[in-house]
Amino acid sequence: MRRLLATAAILAMTVASAPAMANHHGEMAMGGMHASHHALRAVLASDARGEDGARDAYRHPFETLDFFGVEPGMTVVDYMPAGGWYTRILVPYLGAEGRYIGLMPDPAAADASGFADYFGALPGRFAEAYPGWSLTGAPIEGYASQDVPEAMAGTVDRVLIFREMHNLLRSGTMYTELARIRSMLKDDGRLGIVQHRAKADAPAEYTLVTKGYLRQDDVIALVEAHGFELVGMSEINANPADPANWEDGVWMLPPGNRGDNAEAAAVGESDRMTLLFAKR
């Protein structure tokens, strides 16, 4: 936190001492930001999203992608896109000049039972699913991380990991995957993470990944240990109503609704951390 406060102070001093000419650049940047905001709102309001929009109240896609600095024309990796909820936002938002890459874990890196088979099936499932979404915009690519072309190194603007950090930790693939993610990012690229958040004082027995919740400080420490630096955090996806202590884990909450628990359903989706990292 001291590092973040110091950075903010330096930025404030820089703005205060900048010549008047810099204001014009600020206006141009603001205009570009407004244009990207308009484009993102248009995608989110599209009737083509169907039932996806029902999750916006919990996942806050506008605020989240804005916080992560995702803009049209970027090359964006969506890590383990699963059912494609964010795919169906990112592809039209990035536009024809952008590039969307669905990235899956390396099955050979998994050291936990069952994960190798699960990870090995993901690229094929994704390839079968996305043509049926009838998306227009950025070209769609899908890779297992071991198959990413060498030419992609240093070309990615953003890597986004939505609610999958517990699976990387649980499967033993975190080192391999974060190292490959880091190599794909540009020097000024960013890694954005949204993850189910345990209470800060949650016992290790609860946060050792089988419940889906991780402590925020643990996630930050793990990611920074893999060559990244925390540059921002947000409460965009916080849900104070979530006690984060469900006996059967986060999957008791929507959209999993395991056990058809009325109390869990009333909470909505999980309390989540939203973190932004730079390469270090």
Let me know the angle formed at the C-alpha of 142 by 226 and 132, rounded to the nearest 5 degrees. Answer: 140
pTM for the structure as a whole: 0.88
Closest CA to 208 of 175, 237, 249, 176: 249
Residues 6+ apart with CB under 8 A from 94: 70, 72, 73, 74, 76, 100, 137, 138
What pLDDT digit, counting tens, does each position of 135-161 carry?
999 999 999 999 999 999 999 999 999
At 150 the pLDDT is 97
pLDDT score for 249: 96
Judge whether 227 and 280 are in contact, CB under 8 Å: yes
The span from the first CA to the last CA of the chain, in angstroms, equals 17
According to the model, what pLDDT value does residue 260 have? Answer: 82
Residue 135 carries which DSSP code?
Answer: -
DSSP, residue by residue, 62-83: HHHHHHTT--TT-EEEEES-TT
pLDDT of residue 11: 35
pLDDT on residue 26 = 47
Task: Output the pLDDT for position 34.
Answer: 82
pLDDT-flagged residues of the chain (< 50)? 1-28
Residue 20: predicted pLDDT: 37
Cα gap 47→268, rounded to integer Å? 23
The one-letter code for the residue type at 183 is S
Please name each of the domains of the chain with its CATH number.
2-279 (3.40.50.150)
Asked if residues 117 and 157 have their Cβ atoms less than 8 Å apart, the reply is no
Q: How far apart are CA 271 and CA 71, in angstroms?
A: 26
Integer Rg of the chain from CA: 19
Q: What share of the chain is helix, strand, coil (3-state, %, to 5)?
A: 50, 20, 30
pLDDT at position 72:
98
pLDDT reported for residue 31: 62
CB-based contacts of 184, cutoff 8 Å, min separation 6 = 77, 148, 152, 153, 154, 155, 156, 159
Is the peptide bond preceding residue 139 cis, with omega within 30 degrees of 0? no
d(CA 122, CA 251): 20
Whether the Cβ atoms of residue 223 and residue 191 lie closer than 8 Å to each other: yes
